[in-house]
């Protein structure tokens, strides 16, 4: 399973990248706002740091303008993935940009039918939003499962990029289902290391070690 980091904060990406935890990065207009950075500059910096796909999102809503923005974003680096919203215009832009050989991530997916359309339009990645479905008392994992079944039924090559991940359990459930990629905030990826029995066991070992009076170095 590939791990993408959902942030535009360079320091956070670099810390996880040094550990080999970053296969790619996703950003969106809200994350660019949070970073306080210029989208073109920060995307270039991320692309220089991470060789994998780096999603940068268009903000136009009409297909021709989306295509123009997507082409400009794709000029930043060869690993830029143009992120397009799952609207009819977004699908038109997806068809054109993917036809030009650009990687495309179709975002804001909330139904399996939407995912089916994105695959047919040639999307490289489909981003179903788990957390935002959970927020309205629907089950985000059901959507990941449905898309997995549908894509496998017909051999679609579009990769399922489980997004809007809010917890380590979302990562685990996505892995169980067979999502190709997860994108999660750095704090969620780091929280996966936590287990109370690890903390308890380590405390016991440290206490017993202190009683030996020994040093390794």
Which positions touch ligand E4P (CB under 6 A)?
6, 26, 28, 107, 127, 129, 131-132, 163-164, 183
| Residue 27 or 98 with smaller CB distance to ligand E4P | 27
Q: Report the phi/psi class of residue 195: left, alpha or beta, with left for phi > 0 and alpha for psi in -120 to 50.
A: beta
Choose the catalytic residue: 34, 44, 72, 83. 83
Cβ atoms of residues 153 and 187 within 8 Å = no
| Residue 36 or 213 with smaller CB distance to ligand E4P | 36
Residue 152: CB atoms within 10 A of its CB come to: 10
Tell me how far, at minimum, the Cβ of 209 lies from ligand E4P, in Å.
41
Q: Cα–Cα distance between 155 and 158 in angstroms, integer?
A: 9
List the one residue out of 90, 87, 158, 150 whose CA is nearest residue 120.
Answer: 158
Tokens read off for 164: 């809007």
Tokens read off for 53: 């796909």
Tell me how far, at minimum, the Cβ of 156 lies from ligand E4P, in Å.
19
Tell me how far, at minimum, the Cβ of 189 lies from ligand E4P, in Å.
12
| Residue 132 or 211 with smaller CB distance to ligand E4P | 132
Which residue is nearest to ligand E4P, using beta carbons?
A: 164
Tokens read off for 96: 């054109």
Q: Is 83 a catalytic residue?
A: yes
Tell me how far, at minimum, the Cβ of 139 lies from ligand E4P, in Å.
15
Q: Cα–Cα distance between 39 and 33 in angstroms, integer?
A: 9
| Residue 33 or 203 with smaller CB distance to ligand E4P | 33
Burial code (b: 16+ CB inside 10 Å, e: under 16) for 182-200 equals bbbbbebbbeeeeeeeeee
Residues acting as catalytic residues:
83
């Amino acid at each position: 399973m590939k791990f993408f980091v959902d942030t535009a904060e360079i320091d956070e990406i670099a810390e996880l990248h040094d550990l080999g935890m970053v296969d790619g990065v996703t950003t969106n207009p809200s994350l660019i706002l949070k970073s306080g950075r210029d989208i073109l500059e920060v995307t270039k910096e991320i692309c220089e740091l991470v060789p994998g796909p780096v999603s940068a999102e268009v903000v136009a809503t009409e297909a021709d303008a989306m295509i123009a923005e997507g082409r400009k974003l794709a000029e930043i680096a060869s690993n830029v993935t143009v992120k397009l919203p799952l609207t009819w215009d977004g699908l038109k832009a997806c068809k054109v940009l993917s036809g030009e050989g650009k990687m495309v991530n179709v975002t804001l997916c909330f139904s399996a039918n939407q995912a089916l359309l994105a695959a047919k339009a040639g999307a490289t990645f489909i981003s179903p939003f788990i957390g935002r479905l959970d927020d309205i008392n629907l089950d985000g994992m059901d959507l990941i499962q449905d898309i997995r079944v549908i894509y496998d039924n017909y051999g679609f090559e579009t990769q399922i990029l489980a997004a809007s991940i809010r917890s380590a359990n979302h990562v685990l459930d996505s892995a169980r289902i067979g999502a190709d990629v997860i994108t999660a905030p750095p704090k969620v990826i780091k929280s996966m290391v936590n287990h109370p029995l690890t903390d308890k066991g380590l405390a016991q070992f440290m206490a017993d070690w202190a009683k030996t009076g020994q040093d390794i170095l």
